[in-house]
Amino acid sequence: MAQPSKIEQVTGDVVNVQFSSETHVSGDGRRGFQSRISNKMRLFLMVDGKEQHHDFINCTVGVREGHRVSLAIGRRSRGAPPVRLMLVNHTTGQREELAGAMNQVLARKPWFGPWTKAVAITLVIQGLGWLVWSLLGRVEGHMGPLIGFTLISTLGMVPLLAFGMMAFDHLTRKGRLADDADRLRAEIEGRLQLQAQANAPAPKPAA
C-alpha cells in the first residue's frame, strides 16, 4: 500500500512565517459549550527559486526566517489532496510527524469490496463445480436439481464469504496500517538523511 511514489519531499529556506489562531465552539445551551483553539502557522518557503506556502495546525516545530526546513508530503490516490506528513527544521534539528497524517495517506477504499469479492469467488466455485459435473457426465438428467442446488448454495455462500472477509479485514487492518506506516517513516528518514548530507558544510581543504 505504501509506495515510494506516494512521498514527495520539499526542502527550502523560510522567507516568512505567519501565525494565527481560531476558536471553535461546539455544543448547545442545555449541555453547555466547549471551545477548542487551533493555532495555525503558514510557512513561506523559497524552493528552487520559487516561493511556496504551506499551512500547519498546532505544529510544535519552531521556525523563523532564514531557517532551512523540509516537508514530507504524502500523495493520495484518486485525486485526493496531498497531506503533509512531517516537518523538519534542519537548522534547529526539530521535527514533528503531523497528527493523523499517516493514516490519511495510507487509508484507501479498496477497488472491490467484500460483497463483490464474495460474489466473484462464489461464481468461480460454482463454475468449477459445473465443469466437473460436465466432465463426469452427470449434468444430463439432473439439470433441475443442479440449478436449484446452485441457487441455494450461492445465496448461502455469498453472505458467509462477505462477512468473513469483513471480519478478516477488520482484524488485520490495524496491523497492516502499522506496517505500512513504518515503511513510509523509513522512506522519509532515508530522504531526510540524504538532505542532511546535502546541507552539511563542505570540509575545509587541508592547509
Radius of gyration (C-alpha) of the chain in whole angstroms: 28
Torsion sign over Cα 9, 85, 37, 89: negative
Mean of per-residue pLDDT scores for the chain: 75
Q: Which residues contact 165 (CB under 8 A, 6 or more apart)?
A: 114, 117, 118
Examine the pLDDT at 184 and tell me if it is beyond 90. no
Please state, for a pLDDT cut of 90, what percent of the chain lies above it: 11
Q: Which residues contact 60 (CB under 8 A, 6 or more apart)?
A: 94, 96
Examine the pLDDT at 3 and tell me if it is beyond 90. no
- pLDDT, position 43: 92
For residue 19, the tally of other CB atoms under 10 A from its CB is: 8
For residue 50, the tally of other CB atoms under 10 A from its CB is: 8
Q: Name the 3-class secondary structure at 54.
A: strand
Exposure string over 108-137, b if 16+ CB within 10 A, otherwise e = eeeeeebeeebbeebeeebeeeeeeeeeee
Strand order in the sheet with 7-28: 50-57, 32-47, 7-28, 68-74, 83-89, 95-97
The pTM score is 0.56
Instruction: Provide mean pLDDT across the span 176-195.
Output: 73
For residue 91, the tally of other CB atoms under 10 A from its CB is: 16
Rounded Cα gap, residues 58 and 52, in angstroms:
20
Give the model confidence (pLDDT) of 13-25 as tens digits: 999 999 888 887 7
